[in-house]
Amino acid sequence: MIIEALIAVTLVGALVTFVAPNRIAGKLAFAISLVPAAISLWLFTAFDGSGNALLDGQLAFESRVPWIELGEYTISWFVGLDGISLPLVILTTILCTLAIVSSWTPIDERESQFYGLVLFIEANLIGVFTALDFFLWFVFWEAVLIPMYLLIGIWGGPRRKYAAIKFFVYTNVASLVMFGAFIALVFGLGDVTSFALPEIATAMLEGGPGGVFGLSGTALASAVFVAMFLGFAVKVPVVPFHTWLPDAHVEAPTPASVLLAGVLLKMGTYALLRFNFTMFPEQVETYAVPIAAIAVISVIYGAMLALAQTDLKRIVAYSSVSSMGYVILGLVAYTQFGVGGATFQMISHGLISGLMFMAVGVIYNATHTRMVTDMSGLADRMPIAVGVLVAGAFGYMGLPLMSGFAAEYFIFFGAFGSDLLAYSPLFTGLAMFGIVIVAGYLLFALQRTVFGPYRLETDYDVGRAPVHDVASMVVLLGLIIVLGVAPELIFDMITDAVDPILQGGDL
């Protein structure tokens, strides 16, 4: 029951931190967060599962206990890991630990509650990536929203209440749409008596739903696919459901932005892979072109919006919309390299976006401004932090031997050769053009802020960044380089889990 231990340690740690004195809350939360990080790394070394848990039963660290009886349906405590979910669990534990360290400088009030909420988010994120019963998964999914809403609404910027409410309304409405669609699907699968995802996935691939609510089985499957895609698309987010993201990022404190971009956005793409692209292969083929169009529009439009910004946080926020578009393109390619690359991109973007938001936070703590037009020449005053920022930016641009390059190569290779996706070379070529725009807005921001003669419009003395802030960024940069040099460290386990998904239609 190692997964239960992982969740329990993090949850108990959150409760302990809530009641701890403010003066020690940050250090205590960091110490507690090292435990789930260590457990997740042990899971990586002990992992021997292959395949996809929803389809072929190759599930590691599985635990299943009946929980609630609802008439003929059974809700279970059902958790487990495969090669898709394990890297995301590791990403969650590492980013949460580093986000806590990055909080030591900017968070100076109600520290106990802040760090307790961060650990509470971590516990529920682990639950999202390990739960294999729909109701259990949905409980964890919704529980993530509450602490993030509080982090933005209490410790955020001047418009924090507006941003927090917008974040909550968008994501909660999307969750309701997704929930209703999935329940309708379960009712249509007459032989299914539980909400266990493997059973539902197998039933879908062996015959699909029957008629219900006046819809034929095919019509119901298509309606559920579209509704669930829209619900998850808000969480990703993709255009045109992206408008909550920049506001949330700009107003959120730096650690919340790190978690929001690094992990919470991956909830949407992970759910799309687990539900839409695993359970509905026929609908994926039917809607492949519209989904690919949404992906490419998100890549280009998100990058263009980033190019138009002068706020460093908004630049990184809009770049996340663009990066998540690559994930959608890889998924809809429905090839080993496409889907595997999309999953690899989830990890890579989590590391790179976390680094970029930490770097922006370090700059803001020193200058008290995020506007590109307000500063220049910061490299002379904080050379190490700026050096890590520049390296992270090149990772975003897809510099070889960094994880961003590996992820984009896998996705483009998989998308270009896709047999499922019509006009795949065209979609791939258009998406690749996004790299040019990414380079444009990042180089523009770096040239204006970190190079040239020193200038600052605010009355603050800029010096070297605190050691703990730089250390967190260096750890992320090291992981970005390691995965860029040796992507097979996680890519092999990802593809082992992806292959059964691509063959699922033959079950």
What residue has token string 């302990």?
A: 16
Which pLDDT score is estimated for 504? 66
Which pLDDT score is estimated for 505? 44
Residues in Cβ contact with 270 at an 8 Å cutoff, skipping those fewer than 6 apart: 84, 85, 88, 128, 129, 346
Q: How far apart are the first and last CA of the chain?
A: 30
Which pLDDT score is estimated for 105? 84
Q: Burial level of 27, CB count in 10 A (0-12/13-18/19+)? A: middle
What is the C-alpha separation between 507 and 504, in angstroms, rounded? 6
The predicted-structure confidence for 11-50, as pLDDT tens digits, reads as follows 999 999 999 999 999 999 999 999 999 999 999 999 986 6
Give pLDDT tens digits along the chain (507 positions). Answer: 899 999 999 999 999 999 999 999 999 999 999 999 999 999 999 998 666 667 766 788 999 999 988 878 889 999 999 999 999 999 999 999 999 999 998 888 899 999 999 999 999 999 999 999 999 999 999 999 999 999 999 998 899 999 999 999 999 999 999 999 999 888 888 788 889 998 898 888 887 777 666 677 788 899 999 999 999 999 999 999 999 999 999 899 999 999 999 999 999 999 999 999 999 999 999 999 999 999 999 999 999 999 989 999 999 999 999 999 999 999 999 999 999 999 999 999 999 999 999 999 999 999 999 999 999 999 989 999 999 999 999 999 999 999 999 999 999 999 998 988 889 999 999 999 999 998 888 998 999 899 989 999 888 888 888 999 999 999 999 999 999 999 999 999 999 999 988 886 443
Structure tokens at 128: 């999202």
**Domain limits of the chain?**
287-507
Give how far the C-alpha of residue 427 lies from the chain's centroid of Cα atoms, to the nearest Å.
Answer: 23
- The pTM score is 0.95
Please give the C-alpha separations between residue 507 and each of 84, 195, 205, 287, 503, in angstroms, as whole numbers. 20, 20, 6, 21, 8
Please give the C-alpha separations between residue 461 and each of 280, 382, 455, 456, 457, in angstroms, as whole numbers. 57, 11, 11, 9, 11
Neighbours of 461 (CB within 10 A): 8
The SS3 of residue 302 is helix
- Going by the DSSP 8-state scheme, the letter that residue 77 receives in this structure is E
Which pLDDT score is estimated for 506? 43
What residue has token string 């015959």?
A: 207
Which pLDDT score is estimated for 289? 95
What residue has token string 């996706």?
A: 421
The SS3 of residue 1 is coil
DSSP assignments along 34-61, one per residue: HHHHHHHHHHHHH----S-TTTT---EE
The predicted-structure confidence for 365-415, as pLDDT tens digits, reads as follows 999 999 999 999 999 899 999 999 999 999 999 999 999 999 999 999 999
